[in-house]
Amino acid sequence: MPANRSRTTEWRRSMQQVFERGGTLEIAVARQGASGHDPAEHVSSADLVFRLRIVSLLEDCVVVEAPSALGRTIHIEDGAPLVGAITIGQNRWKFRSCKLSGEPAGRVEAMRLELPDEVERCLRRFTRFEVGGLNLPEVEVYPLLDAKSVARVEEWNDAAFAAAEAGRTAPPGTQPLPTVGPKFTATLMNVGGGGIGIRVEPVDASALTRHRLFWFCIPLEKSDPLPVVATGKVVHTHLDSTQRTYAGVSFDFSFRPAHQKTVVEQVVRHMERSQQRPT
């Protein structure tokens, strides 16, 4: 049996195991017209990875829940090229795919994804999409020292985003910060329905246990100077084999609920741009 066919057979067995355990698949939109091998093709972009529940596994496709952010479904165009990954044990399978179609799945939206003929296996300790040609955002993380101070910052951000959408002049000054502690940087690994997953280097991981709330600043496009900002709580952590910490973060909009709409709109606009074909 050829090596690639044997690898694909093993991968399909792994996919079946993930499905039977109620597991998830991670996907990101592949940049249109990019080969995926030249880092210069992605320096102006930040690619969001969504963790999606597997609904069913068919002979020629896999059905997954549609990506969402804070209760709003993110639309992926039919035919959109995708980069995907599943993890089981110490193995990570990475592959190219595309969205075939959308379909209902009970009370949620779902989409059919093409099952690839070729996959690549790597050890789990490597970054999920190391060879996928994606540029995972680097997130600025600040311990939040005064939760009430986020309201004025979120209000400024909401006004700046609304002005940009309407083609108006942004509020004066640079984006402010709430009352925070020293910054550290993390990698945005995935986006879920109500928060994000980040990877933190060992030198910074102790901050996750010393503080309850954090202020997150997530850049999406270098052409768009306004990052996504939000308050979040770390709800779970675990160490990988390189002693880096993966942290699951739940967003908290209790201090200014109206800011949730801006965060969702920023993610939606970013995903719309990521699917546009180059001119």
Domain boundaries, the chain: 3-123, 138-274
For 138-274, CATH gives: 2.40.10
Angstrom distance (rounded) from CA 265 to CA 70: 10
Provide the percentage of residues in the chain whose pLDDT is more than 70. 81
Q: Please classify residue 262 by burial: count the beta carbons closer than 10 Å to its beta carbon, then call 0-12 exposed, 13-18 middle and 19+ buried.
A: buried
Distances (CA, A) of 127 to 6, 29, 133: 24, 17, 12
pTM: 0.82
Residue 90's pLDDT is 64
pLDDT digits (tens, 9 = 90+) for 160-202: 999 988 888 777 777 899 999 999 999 999 888 789 999 999 9
3-123 CATH choice from 2.40.160.10, 3.40.50.980, 2.30.110.10, 2.60.40.10? 2.30.110.10
pLDDT at 217 over 90: yes
Q: pLDDT-based confidence at 93, cuts 50/70/90?
A: confident
pLDDT at 143 over 90: yes
